[in-house]
């Protein structure tokens, strides 16, 4: 059986990002995996009922997704709204979908407070990046799913069985 890969919907060309845009990842492996039926697409935020477009959100106080999952940090919008509950639901939905469909891997857009895995923003809405996981990436890792950012696709290509 071929390994399945959970993938951020924005990387697949869906206009689901907070700003109403997509961020398509163009790579031959994506085309091959799509043709092989290996890709399982999700926008965690949309799965939790968040609209498109929506205000930008970041994890407050230079915290990480792990801290949000532990209940010690929050996800806030630029407008001041607390969207922690939505991001926790988004993470739960992504883990449930990955389990239901047998995904061993996840390929997620970096920088997102949900999907970031190499970096996220520090919560100041100033564009400052920090190492860390978003809420969904942290939840997937905790569930035993290997998470890769869009910048790590070559590493994922090496791992995925043919």
At 2 the pLDDT is 80
CA dihedral 153, 157, 160, 162 (to 10 degrees): 150
pLDDT at 161 over 80: no
At 162 the pLDDT is 55
| pLDDT tens digits, 33-88 | 999 999 999 999 999 999 999 999 999 999 999 999 999 999 999 999 999 999 99
pLDDT at 157 over 80: yes
Domain that holds residue 43: 4-159
151 burial type by CB count under 10 A (0-12 exposed, 13-18 middle, 19+ buried):
middle
Number of domains in the chain: 1
Phi and psi angles of residue 6, each rounded to the nearest 5 degrees, phi first: -75, 135
pLDDT at 111 over 70: yes
């Amino acid at each position: 059986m071929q390994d399945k890969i959970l993938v951020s919907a924005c990387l697949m060309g869906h206009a689901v990002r907070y700003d109403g845009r997509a961020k398509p990842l163009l790579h031959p492996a994506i085309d091959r995996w799509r043709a092989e039926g290996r890709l399982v697409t999700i926008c965690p935020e949309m799965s939790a009922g968040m609209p498109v477009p929506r205000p930008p959100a970041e994890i407050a106080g230079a915290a990480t997704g792990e801290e949000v999952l532990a209940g010690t940090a929050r996800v806030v919008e630029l407008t001041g709204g607390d969207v922690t509950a939505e991001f926790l639901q988004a993470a739960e939905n992504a883990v449930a979908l990955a389990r239901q469909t047998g995904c061993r891997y996840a390929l997620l857009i970096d920088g997102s407070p949900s999907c970031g895995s190499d970096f996220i923003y520090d919560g100041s809405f100033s564009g400052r990046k920090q190492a860390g996981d978003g809420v969904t990436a942290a939840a997937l890792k905790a569930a035993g799913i290997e998470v890769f950012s869009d910048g790590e696709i070559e590493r994922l290509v090496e791992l995925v069985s043919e």
